[in-house]
């Protein structure tokens, strides 16, 4: 089974993805990380991505789908057809959803969405309180109360883009573009909802129980 993670920023899906990967032995696909990895590779796809990024352009949908296809092929050839994949950060909108679902069907993948549900207000509060390590850039959720980074003892500061205005914009985009995808998948019986407005441990427990 492949798991496609949905959730507003601040819902903690990145943290849960790591638990899920440990528990199921799944491979983890995160769009940003995969883009960075491929762009440093000396392959035709890597060169294409590198030139798009260097030109300062957004990576177009068809290239993102090429990256997903590349990842699925690689995972299946290295492991087996039964190896699960966790997708994080894709699909973000209806257009991506349609091509993404077509691609998974083409590869005969069994899949379900996992929606880490958090209210607008709770997401805003968490993002406003989120901090980042000045030295190693590790992001700490609002629940983390230490004043220094647990990895390098660096100073924890608020991210420049975590101000009220940009947080509101990001949340608006999520509701406008991604929530319709969640609703559509729900209608297709391809979506499991998890209450993300509880402690990290409680979210993990609920996820384990429902998958």
Locus of tokens 């790591």: 18
- Check whether the bond before 91 is cis (ω within 30° of 0): yes
Peptide bond into 202 cis (omega under 30): no
**Binding of residue 148 to Zn ion (CB under 5 A):** no
Beta strand 111-117 with 131-133: parallel, antiparallel or unpaired?
unpaired
Rule CB under 5 A: is residue 151 a binding residue for Zn ion?
yes
Q: Does 136 bind Zn ion (CB under 5 A)?
A: yes
CA neighbor of 114 nearest in space, from 197, 210, 41: 210
Residue number with CB closer to Zn ion (119 or 146): 146
Which residues, 6 or more positions from 41, have their beta carbon under 8 angstroms from its beta carbon? none
Nearest-approach distance from CB 18 to Zn ion, in angstroms = 18
3-class SS at 40? coil
Distance CA 66, CA 60 (A): 10
Interacting residue with Zn ion among 1, 152, 164, 179 (CB under 5 A): 152
Among 67, 149, 181, 182, binds Zn ion (CB under 5 A): 149
Q: Is residue 156 involved in binding Zn ion (CB under 5 A)?
A: no
SS3 call for 198: coil
DSSP 95: H
Question: What minimum distance in Å lies between the beta carbon of 142 and Zn ion?
Answer: 17
Least separation in angstroms between CB 131 and Zn ion: 11
The 95-134 site mask, x for binding Zn ion (CB under 5 A), equals: --------------------------------------x-
Q: How far is the CB of 144 from Zn ion (least distance, A)?
A: 12
Least distance from Zn ion to the Cβ atom of residue 132, Å = 9
Residues that bind Zn ion (CB under 5 A): 133, 135-136, 149, 151-152, 154
């Amino acid at each position: 089974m492949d798991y496609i993670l949905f959730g507003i920023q601040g819902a903690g899906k990145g943290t849960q993805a790591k638990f899920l990967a440990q528990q199921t032995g799944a491979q983890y696909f995160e769009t940003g990380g995969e883009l960075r990895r491929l762009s440093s590779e000396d392959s035709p796809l890597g060169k294409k991505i590198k030139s798009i990024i260097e030109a300062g352009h957004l990576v177009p949908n068809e290239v993102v789908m090429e990256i997903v296809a590349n990842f699925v092929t690689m995972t299946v050839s290295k492991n087996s057809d039964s190896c699960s994949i966790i997708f994080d950060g894709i699909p973000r909108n209806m257009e991506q959803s349609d091509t993404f679902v077509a691609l998974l069907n083409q590869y005969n993948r069994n899949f379900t969405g996992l929606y880490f549900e958090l209210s607008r207000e709770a997401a805003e509060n968490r993002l406003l309180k989120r901090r980042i390590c000045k030295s190693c850039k590790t992001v700490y959720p609002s629940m983390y109360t230490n004043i220094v980074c647990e990895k390098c003892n660096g100073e924890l500061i608020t991210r420049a883009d975590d101000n009220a205005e940009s947080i509101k914009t990001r949340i608006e985009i999520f509701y406008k573009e991604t929530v319709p995808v969640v609703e559509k998948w729900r209608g297709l019986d391809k979506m499991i909802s998890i209450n993300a407005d509880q402690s990290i441990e409680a979210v993990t427990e609920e996820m384990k129980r429902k998958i």
